[in-house]
Structure 1
Amino acid sequence: MADKVTGARTEVGLTVEVSPEKLWEIITDVSRIGEFSPECKGGAWLDHDSPGPRAGARFSGRNEFEGGFVGEVTCVVTESEPGRVFTWVVLDGEEDPARPGSTWRYELSATEFGGTMVRQTFVHGPGDTGLRVMVADLTPTAAEAGIQERLAQIREHMTETITAMSERG
């Protein structure tokens, strides 16, 4: 059966009243994510001698899901342009950045009135994840419904997180 999950993606675009430089500082301070996200409750740089945000830097993330499931992940920064782009991959048990469970990306651009246009994208990778396990034995129709439900939840959480970062950051 064909892969039902790889390539599933979603994105949000919001204009916020925070400069790209300030928003960049908030986004890349992974230790603060729990202040803003309804799902990701904590993060920490793992490379203590040379912490991020820089390409190749690693950080941990702790997610809490409905039903009480808690997941711990390791992430690797793949792109880091101060004030512009921050991208990372979430590793699965194989820990191969070329085959991540997912890729997350923030793109920031200044607006003419001092704010920022934020575009955040999520792309499901070929690696193992809870979503892949969840839909593995479902019919194609049920699997697609489950994937779309999760993508809608991710969009909602991305919107809530960006909004909180811009208001409370």
Structure 2
Amino acid sequence: MDVVTGAQAAIALTVQMPREQMWELITAVNRTGEWSPEARGGSWADGTLGPSKGARFTACNRYADGLVSKVTCVVTETERPRTFTWAVLDDAGLVGSTWRYELREGIEAGSTEVFHSFTHGPGNTGARVAAEADPQALSRRLVTLFRNMTTTIGAMSAAEAANGSKR
């Protein structure tokens, strides 16, 4: 039985930042290492300069156990300044996971509601290998992803607030 495919972690946060500004941050794959406890950053591939459907980027992650991995990602949906979705591919080119940001205007002027989600795909990933060895590993991984996603969005918002006060 495959308990990993379809496993999800999702958060919803409101940040005190205009949606267009938040869009710039979530699509800046080269800057993710500034905010994320796990993602170390990335770079657009094949001469791509930013998000567009089908665009590829390489991302680097460092996990709590010290393991470092590089992955290939492909943008599957992009609608500025609303939606940014990408798939992380495994070594066979299968979707290991799908990550999605959805941005909506916040209730307060100048705020943004950020919806961020992770869905495990059918591909081969470290999470799959760990869950096959220890069924509780998947739950622990989802909790870590939830925490990291929350931390990343909070750090994006705080860094931009600090930059705004310096301008």
Q: Same fold (TM over 0.5)?
A: yes
Q: How does 1:1-169 map to 2 (within 5 A)?
A: 2-48=1-47, 50-95=48-93, 99-113=94-108, 114-138=110-134, 143=135, 145-169=136-160
Displacement after TM superposition at 1:51 (Å): 2.7
| SS of match in other structure, 1:106 | strand
User: TM-score scaled by structure 2?
Assistant: 0.92
Report the residue type matching 1:46 in the other structure: A
| Contact 1:39–1:63 (CA under 8 A) maintained in structure 2 | yes
Aligned length: 159
Displacement after TM superposition at 1:133 (Å): 0.8
Displacement after TM superposition at 1:112 (Å): 3.1
Unaligned runs of 5+ in 2: 161-167
Once superposed, which parts of structure 1, at least 4 consecutive aligned residues long, lie more than 6 Å away? none
Cα distance in 1 between the residues matched to 2:69 and 2:43 = 14
Report the residue type matching 1:119 in the other structure: F
User: TM-score scaled by structure 1?
Assistant: 0.91
Unaligned runs of 5+ in 1: none
RMSD: 1.0
